[in-house]
Amino acid sequence: MGCLLSLSNPLRQFFFPLVFFVFFSPVNGKDNLTPPSFTPINGDLYHSSGLLMEEISNLVHRHPDKFTMETIETGNQGYKAEVTVVTYCRNRKEIDDRSKFRILLSFGQHGRELITSELALRVLSVLSEEQFLPNMDPISLNSTLDKLVIKVVPMENLNGRKLVEAGELCERRNGRGVDLNRNWSVDWGKKEKDYDPYEENPGTAPFSEPETQIMRKLSISFDPHIWVNVHSGMEALFMPYDHRNTTPDGLPSQQMRRLLEELNHLHCQDRCMIGSGGGSVGYLAHGTATDYMYDVVRVPMAFTFEIYGDGTASSKDCFKMFNPIDLTTFNRVLNDWSAAFFTIFKMGPQQLQKKHSKPSTTNSEKWVSIDEYLDGYLMERRNRYGKKVEVLEFGMQEIRTYFRLFMLSSILLLFMFCSRISKSKCSRPIVAVMPI
């Protein structure tokens, strides 16, 4: 550059534009000096992941009579994850009352869907009575909430969310590139013709990811009556199934559809899509959380909600596609869908005919392994008693081992018994009966 400065004016007038073109020319048709073609995260509307979880933590500490909060950590192969769970019960002493109606809500399963975690914060704020929804009768609300225990996962995919905050605005997967909503065991690993590993990488095996391991154990130990997995990208109210284009048969399907139709009318102005995820979206999804909750955990009402989508946004403008970018729309989405959840809190038990028992399991239904039940039990005890459960956990591991040995020896004995009976029958002499 020093040599250029020593050139005469005519030469300088030629070389300076040339240097500018070489160093600052457009790349792939885009001028580096123009604003990027995507919408950045609006920091005036959205919390960072750290600030959002801090605000939730402060909310819980201000209302210890209603809330508890626990952070569950696990990991494998050098990858660690944590999931925070907030539990609401109007009378904290009744938090373990199994006669209460149990609801499990998960937000932020995909990192780029920031609006879902903001909705979690709004729902918790209304439950704390620090915020109020318009046209809501406090007396009726309190009567409804007396019967419930609600667990809220505000940000299931914290590691993926951090990647989004670092600039990867289209990232939906977790911290090592696995889509958490393809990592569950029901129809896991099947790939459609349009499979995109960036969007749908299911992992190396069902429950290979720490986040889904935590959520599986939580769902088994809590045993909810209603499950809602909250996403964004469109406006829809989905019920099972995601991996096929049909809904379940019989009364459970009718109950779910009735509730969704009511929500659509009251809070979505009848514009939300309703039906099975696989039959409504236009593609099948395999290994999803909602299908697992319905088929394996036997949750009577299992839903996936899509709370916002901008169909006019470019496919590369992910923040705008999945999240409101102006204050008016932001508040409308949070108010409408918060009200929808409180309608669920009221109508869910009614749709299930106020019976808190879950459907009985038949031989044709899928079984949950003993490992899953024991793991769920241990997680519940560990969360409640901390390190005191280590001895119990060791004992449970021993029980698992002895149980497997017992089952194996029983099968072998049964096989030997049947073999001996079979041989004894074959060794008997055949006596011919002659006619007289």
Active site residues: 306
Beta strands in 38-78 (DSSP E): 67-76
Determine the Cα–Cα distance for residues 109 and 343; give it in Å rounded to an integer.
23
Contacts of 307 (CB under 8 A, 6+ apart): 115, 116, 119, 230, 231, 232, 235, 333, 337
| 77 exposure class (CB count in 10 Å sphere: 0-12, 13-18, 19+) | exposed
Q: Which residue has the tokens 């899953």?
A: 372
Determine the Cα–Cα distance for residues 75 and 81; give it in Å rounded to an integer.
6
Determine the Cα–Cα distance for residues 341 and 54; give it in Å rounded to an integer.
23
Beta strands at 148-153 and 101-106: parallel, antiparallel or unpaired: parallel
Determine the Cα–Cα distance for residues 121 and 127; give it in Å rounded to an integer.
10
| 6 exposure class (CB count in 10 Å sphere: 0-12, 13-18, 19+) | exposed
Strand arrangement, sheet containing 301-308:
67-76, 79-88, 148-153, 101-106, 226-231, 301-308, 234-239, 273-276
Tokens of 38: 């995507």
In 3-state terms, what secondary structure has residue 169?
A: coil
CA distances from 244 to 228, 239, 359 (A): 19, 11, 22
